[in-house]
Chain A
Amino acid sequence: MSVLAHVFEAAGIATVVLSSVREMAEKTAPPRALHCEFPLGRPLGRPGDAAFQHDVLARAFALLSLPSGPVLVDHPEVIQADESPLACTLPPRFDPSLPPAVDEARGLRRAYDRALARRGVTSVGRVIDADGVPGALAVLHAIAEGADWKDAGIPGGNTTAVCHDIRTYYEEAALELADGPVPGGRAVEDWYFEQTEAGATVLKARAAIRDGGGKFPVWFYMTPGQR
């Protein structure tokens, strides 16, 4: 973002960056930056809070009236990521003949469909659509149980893409199922990796690919780096 600020400014457009990594803003020194110590992925801070978002924008736009730069100021509020998993009921076991993650994914389908109908758009679809999620989890389950990942039939042949699709399917369904306020940053990620069969399956498959000689990019980006 800070690099793009320099590029756009050079093209004759005034810029303000909402910085998310202060050290990067310090090093790259865009003309104007408001550092926002908010959860990564939420540069305006609070989903569903128009007043807070307007406060962020007002502080950012105020920098446009300064006569010179670079200028880097901090938003006064710090919002920490929520490390408590989202409270979201998972479907009960329905078909014991299936791997648990496959059964679970099938059980979430109605919630996913409701989310899609309400939002009108989904971010599932890099290499599979919702119909492909149970099958993709069956492949990852097989890898986790010892199948050779190289000929297991990973959809699209792309571990990163298929894991994005599975996780997005779960997260969109979970947001439809969960009650209460908007979950904090990382709460839905924590729910997925720590409480769902799918998350556990992805983690096991990732370890199996790593231990089975998969190159770093093949397994590492299947989950957030800290996992």
Chain B
Amino acid sequence: MNGDQAMRAHSATLPSPVFEHPAWVTPPPLTRSTVAIVTSAALYAAGDEAFGAADTGYRLIDRDRRDLVLGHWSPNFDRAGVAVDLNVVYPIDRLEELAAAGTIGGVAPRHVSFAGNQPDDVSTIRLDSGPAAAAALRADGVDVVILTPV
């Protein structure tokens, strides 16, 4: 079993919360939607606060920043890909291209990064930091988020 297979098999056994009444939002047409990225790669802008080992918080990343540090604490995934091309985790240049082409309405002014290695109960991101990050994006007029896992 290779590293990815081992990690996928392990992750599949982790507990997951049940959402009894999941929300469903119908967004505006994509051509009029403002889109943001939410990643769990623990990326943060150079000079911003680094992620701690059990960090349940989030960092906001301004749209024009590309000098991002990978602050994830798990050793169990490839990091070379994002070192070569940020977009393989954080597709900010792809969103800019889609906006320029009129495929999406616009790129959000700020994007969000969490750390993927959360405590098993995920209670903080569910009840505290997650809603706070969502409120920040709502204040920026975001209609759609694309979530990219690490």
The residues of A with any CB-CB pair to B shorter than 8 Å are: 1-21, 23-24, 27-31, 39-48, 50, 53-54, 57, 60-61, 64-65, 67-70, 80-81, 83, 86, 119-123, 125-126, 158, 160-161, 163-164, 167-168, 171-172, 174-175, 182-183, 185-189, 221-226
Contact = CB atoms under 8 A, between A and B. Distances in A.
Contact of A40 (B4, B17, B137, B138): B4
B75 A7 contact: no
A29 B90 CA distance: 23
A164 B138 contact: no
A3 B114 CA distance: 12
A225 B38 contact: no
Q: Name, among B10, B41, B46, B149, the residue most crowded by chain A CB atoms within 10 Å (CB to CB).
A: B149
Contact of A226 (B2, B19, B27): B2
B126 A60 contact: no
A62 B8 CA distance: 26
B133 to A, nearest CB: 8
A7 B130 contact: yes
B16 A81 contact: no
Contacts of A222: 75
Contact-residue size bin, chain B (C-beta under 8 Å from the other chain):
35 or more
A189 B71 CA distance: 17
A81 B144 contact: no
A21 B11 contact: yes
A41 B40 contact: no
A150 B19 CA distance: 44
Contacts of A64: 27, 30, 33, 144
A29 B8 contact: no
A188 B8 CA distance: 19
A224 B98 CA distance: 36
Interface in B66-110: 67-71, 73-85, 87-89, 91, 93-95, 97-98, 104
B97 A14 contact: no
Contact of B89 (A23, A31, A43, A172): A43
B7 A40 contact: yes
